Amino acid sequence: MVSSISFLMCSPDHYDVDYVINPWMEGNIHRSSRELAVEQWHGLYGILKSMAVVDLVPPAKGWPDMVFTANAGLVLGNNVVLSRFFHKERQGEEPHFKAWFEAQGYSVYELPKELPFEGAGDALLDREGRWLWAGYGFRSELDSHPYLAKWLDIEVLSLRLIDSRFYHLDTCFCPLSGGYLLYYPDAFDSYSNRVIEMRVSAEKRIAIEEVDAVNFACNAVNIGSTVVVNKVGSSLKKRLIDAGFEVIETPLTEFLKAGGAAKCLTLRVTEPVLEDVHASSPVESRIVQMAGHLLDAGIMNQALDLIIENGGSFQVLNFQLGEQRQSTSIAEVRVSAPSHDVMEEIMSQLIDLGAVPPPEETCDTNIEVCTQAGVAPDDFYVTTIYPTEVRVACEWLKVQNQRMDGAVVIAHSTDGDFAYCKLLRDLEVGDRVIVGV
């Protein structure tokens, strides 16, 4: 047994398919065998128990999906980001998991109630601990990713899911030891596949076909050189063995009826923290305003659809409906994108639909000069991991060298003004620092 590795599981005492919140549940309501589910769960439990410590959270009556503990939250070191379930059918699980984490002494972080995030089902650590892969598109919101980066102090790479059968990242994506990656490329948009290919070399990528994907081959538990999985085809099994892995298949067909398998039934609660890894997230957000006949002309739907189709997400912050047919409506929308390039593409299309910055964003930021080395002016703006832009001389400047807990300094070059982050201890007399934001 590898005692340094621990998992959290929940016995299937109350497990059943009671509702439909993913495509796998269609046609399977109350068609799961409790007896067989218990047998299959104990099969997985026994395998993991022989290799690691397995803790159990007590099952709560009325919450049949609590057995899928991967969705309890995301653990790194002594910190856990608690899940905010997208569907009301699972939201009642949250206090039970919170109580367990607090009882174990974890520091629990909770996202805003309106910001869905479904734990380690949608956030998977690179097995070397170098970064966090985070999914969005069905259950978790892109805007949750900067919170993960900040609270867990880790780089977050955002991946957009586009096939509703693979509604959680862990249903189609499994980081393995040694830098390997088991994944189903067709579950992701083209931008996300490029992100994957840029981070994982070709010889380490084990891309699978649909026949294995629908058997949840990627929904596997990896412990060292062992991969525990529901079922894999002979060809995929050989590829894994050739890569140095032992493959253990254990049937979990009763849980597939609810859209889960081995990984969904477990949460790894011992994830080591690397000291040289720090917070970073390329997620970028902007607010735009739209005015006109937004509903009857279909402009609002067009705008929201193009945001999603281009890999972004949105939140309607304010909507004022025109009182009469000839009246115009006004909407303010927060737009988020996984990178600056994606944001620029989305914004160019939104501008074509008439989107503009809100009026209050037209003011320049305030600047004060440092009078003492290593000391920032009063009320200086403290930087975060979020990509930031500042308005100087009627021009938006993207802040360079983005990092947490620094100051934004405005400098001048032959190409004009530019903005960059600077640690407080590095501030010099004469530095022009953003204040009053």
As annotated, the active-site residues are: 168, 264
Distance CA 83, CA 72 (A): 6
**Strand partners for 76:** 79
Rounded-to-integer distance, Cα 39 and Cα 33, Å = 10
Torsion of CA 259, 261, 264, 267, to 10 degrees: 170
Q: How far is CA 160 from the centre of its chain?
A: 9
Which ranges in 3-152 belong to alpha helices (H)?
A: 34-49, 88-91, 94-103, 145-152
Please spell the DSSP secondary structure of 169-205, one letter per residue.
Answer: GGGTEEE-GGG-EEE-GGGB-HHHHHHHHHHS-GGGE
* Strand-pair category, 407-413 with 432-435: antiparallel
Q: Do residues 91 and 97 lie in contact, with contact meaning Cβ atoms separated by under 8 Å?
A: no
| Best CA proximity match to 136, nearest among 173, 94, 82 | 173
CB 86 within 8 A of CB 116: yes
Both tokens assigned to 168: 């959680």
The residues pairing with 280 across neighbouring beta strands, listed in sequence order, are 155
| C-alpha 352 chain-centroid distance | 30
